[in-house]
């Protein structure tokens, strides 16, 4: 099986994109971590956000892995399994969501006249060596 922590990161990225979308569209940022619930809310904002189809068993399994990834890949390492192919598929879907989030959210902000606002983001934590 493939390394498990990138899937945890993908879960966090999807959660962040979803909460950003909901904040812009509904002016509310839910404290929800369940990706299935967030996905439902986001798709109600704009149908183009339907980037995680669950038509086939493989798609359902991949989304289920993504949903469980944050907790299971960190705290249930012996039980959590993901293949390289599943991880690549999910990474591609997250990239699609990222692109749509940028396009649709910025478009909405532009229509609202808020595109010139300065947006601040938290700088990711980095370890600096003493070298």
Determine the average pLDDT of the residues in 40-49: 95
Q: Judge whether residue 68 has pLDDT over 70.
A: yes
Residues with Cβ within 8 Å of 72's Cβ and at least 6 positions away in sequence, in order, are 79, 80
The token duo for 102 is: 């940028």
Task: Report the distance separating Cα 96 and Cα 90, nearest Å.
Answer: 10
Percentage of residues in the chain having pLDDT higher than 70: 77
Q: Judge whether residue 1 has pLDDT over 80.
A: no
Whole-model pTM: value is: 0.80
Lowest mean pLDDT among 15-24, 40-49, 70-79: 70-79
Where are the chain's structural domains?
A: 5-111
Helices (H), 27-119: 35-45, 57-75, 84-111
Task: Report the distance separating Cα 101 and Cα 48, nearest Å.
Answer: 10
Residue 51 — left, alpha, or beta (φ > 0 → left; ψ -120 to 50 → alpha)? alpha
Per the CB < 8 A criterion, the answer to whether 68 and 80 are in contact is: yes
**Domain 5-111, architecture per CATH:** Up-down Bundle (1.20)
Q: Judge whether residue 110 has pLDDT over 90.
A: no
pLDDT band at 2 (very low <50, low <70, confident <90, very high): very low
Q: Judge whether residue 39 has pLDDT over 90.
A: yes
């Amino acid at each position: 099986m493939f390394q498990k922590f990138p899937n945890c990161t993908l879960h966090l990225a999807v959660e962040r994109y979803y909460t950003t979308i909901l904040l812009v569209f509904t002016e509310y940022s839910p404290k929800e971590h369940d990706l299935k619930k967030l996905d439902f809310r986001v798709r109600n904002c704009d149908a183009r956000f339907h980037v995680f189809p669950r038509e086939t068993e493989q798609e359902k399994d991949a989304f289920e892995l993504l949903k469980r990834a944050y907790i299971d890949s960190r705290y249930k390492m012996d039980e959590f399994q993901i293949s390289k192919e599943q991880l690549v598929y999910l990474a591609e879907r997250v990239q699609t969501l990222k692109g749509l989030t940028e396009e649709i959210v910025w478009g909405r902000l532009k229509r609202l006249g808020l595109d010139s606002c300065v947006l601040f983001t938290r700088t990711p934590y980095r370890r600096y060596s003493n070298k």
